[in-house]
Amino acid sequence: MDRKELKKAFEKSAEKWDASAVFAYFDPEGTDVFKAGYADRKGKRKLKKSDTVIIPLESRFFTCLALVKLIEEGRLSLNRKLSDYIPECVHADKITVRDILRGESGLPDYFYGGIILSLQDDEEFKTLSDKEKVKKEAKLSYNRHELSEVLDIVNGKDLNYIPGSVHNSSSQTDWFFARCIAEKLTGKTLLDYLNEILFTPIGMNPSEGNAASTVPTLCPNDDKLVPTDNEGAEYECITIGITDALKLAKALVSKDERVLSAGTWDKAFAPSYSKSLLTWRSNGTHEVYMGISGYSLDIFFEPEISTGWLIMTPEEPVYKEISGRWEYYFTAVQDHIYSAITYPVSPVFSRVNSDTVFDAMDIKINEDQTYFVDSARDSIAWTAADPVRLKPMVLTEHGRAVALAVLKVDRQKKNYAVEIIQVDKLYQHRGYGKILMREVMKYLKAQGAEKLTIGVARNNEVAIKLYKSVGFTEKEVYRGGYNLEMTL
């Protein structure tokens, strides 16, 4: 990684988006920390690397880590029913600990589906301006709630879906019940247990409660910032700075055995759909996100290459839709990092599925190629019109989508064709084009193809060079281009 170029990418992106954040990147060569924006936007106080934010205790990562540790110690099992620990919940006999850990319990969200929903009928709340409503709702997040209060809400509602269903959503109720289970089995508060199994072993020293040196800013409508404060809030949280955040991130990327054994880390990080027991999966990268009332800590890491990066901010990011892709100030920095660390090591060629479809749709081509090929999103959508014959295929590197192919397979008519080929512009000139074409030819040969024909525009020199490099030759020349052919 070129550290100077990384700093330029961060600073340019932060300036363009008027963003506030402390950003850190680390790999075996060292650690770099950059900062931009405000610690207090309303007061115009600039952010320092030493500033702190708050993060919630009742977050997915903290509560699930507590349960994973209890499983490692033999005090809990993935297959145990929720009814063994919270029998008062009317849905508990349908839900397992695994469902809770994976955020697939189907439980209604007690906060947004209960507390915030009821708030909308409050007469005093109705008189507030939209900005003040947003502030009030944010200050209610991650406050301490009693089990009886949560059960009153959850027991009065149906499950959102059948527990254990593959679902890319979660409910705050999951993390609340995970906390309850951990505290019941350990006889300790969640904070005390986390101090024992995580914070103290890796040398973290977070402060209990809200002692942040920064003032939060909300972004409720994607593109409008709303400065707020913490007055009246009773958050269940810890205060953290970049030093402790880096200790946490490095413990994750190294699978620190002071926290969990190597085998337990592997099981906890094993991917399924877009998540594992402890993390989300973002473009092939593990992600741990913790946010509360404008503050957030977002950690990305790749244990396989001992590399990670994180962003700590007192402000919710502004989002914009650009060329069909939702972006925010960190998008360009992420792209810069992915471009720098992704090279052919162990690429995998497979059918686009629920694990890869969103990353595949985000594949971006150079502007000079847009005349020759549709976007990845359009190409994948096209296959839905003829799912029997059109096969969307993706080439991934370490779970990251680097190239896309749309293939035609009609065994009955012996019609085989390469309809779309595109390599993400972040990963071009690294050999992925040749790798993709060789995998395509291998796949089509296995489907029964003996010859392949591919059409290409006469002025698409990049594609012509690629196809000829793997054995295609000119079959026909017509006004708009060539038909290239090869025998498999």
Average pLDDT over residues 131-158: 93
Average pLDDT, the chain: 93
Residue 272 has pLDDT above 80, yes or no: no
- Tens of pLDDT along 373-409? 888 999 999 999 999 999 999 999 988 999 999 999 9
Q: Which of 334, 332, 407, 394 is nearest to 359 (CA)?
A: 394
Q: How far is 217 from 227, CA to CA, in rounded Å?
A: 4
pLDDT digits (tens, 9 = 90+) for 305-333: 999 999 999 999 999 888 777 889 999 99
Q: What's the CATH fold of domain 3-340?
A: Beta-lactamase (3.40.710)
Alpha-carbon span 283 to 281, nearest angstrom: 6
Summarised one tens digit per residue, pLDDT across range 19-61 is 999 999 999 999 999 999 999 999 999 999 999 999 999 999 9
Taking CB atoms within 8 Å and a gap of at least 24, the contacts of 71-77 are: 71/97, 71/264, 72/260, 72/261, 72/264, 75/185, 76/181, 76/185
Residue 8 to residues 25, 59, 329, Cα–Cα distance (Å): 13, 32, 13
For residue 338, pLDDT over 70 is answered with: yes
Structure token pair of residue 428: 């071009």
Q: For residues 340 and 7, what is the distance between their CA atoms, to the nearest angstrom?
A: 13
Q: In this predicted model, what pLDDT tens digit does every residue of 216-253 receive, in sequence order? A: 999 987 778 999 998 989 999 999 999 999 999 999 99
Percent of the chain clearing pLDDT 90 (strictly above): 77
pLDDT above 90 (res 488): no
Q: How many angstroms separate the CA atoms of 468 and 202, rounded?
A: 54
**What is the model's pLDDT at position 452?**
87
| Cα torsion 37, 41, 46, 49: sign | negative
pLDDT band at residue 475 using 50, 70 and 90 as cut-offs = confident
pLDDT at 371: 63
Model pLDDT for residues 88-100, shown as the tens digit of each residue: 999 999 999 999 9
Is the CATH code 3.40.630.30 the one for domain 348-487?
yes
- List the chain domain ranges: 3-340, 348-487
Evaluate whether 481 touches 444 at the Cβ level (below 8 Å).
Answer: no
pTM score, two decimals?
0.92
pLDDT in tens, 76-121: 999 999 999 999 999 999 999 999 999 999 999 999 999 999 999 9
Q: What is the SS3 assignment for 23?
A: strand
The string over 421-449, giving b where at least 16 C-beta atoms fall within 10 Å of a residue's C-beta and e elsewhere, is bbbbbbbbebebbebbbebbbebbeeeeb
Of the candidates 352, 290, 364, 293, the residue with the CA atom closest to the CA atom of residue 324? 364
Q: Which residue reads 């009814």 in tokens?
A: 83
- Per-residue model confidence (pLDDT) at position 354: 84
Q: According to the model, what pLDDT value does residue 459 have?
A: 82
SS3 315: strand
What ranges make up the beta strands (E) of 43-91?
45-46, 52-56
pLDDT at residue 167, rounded to an integer? 74
Strands 30-36, 415-423: pairing is: unpaired
Helix (H) or strand (E) holding 101: helix 97-101
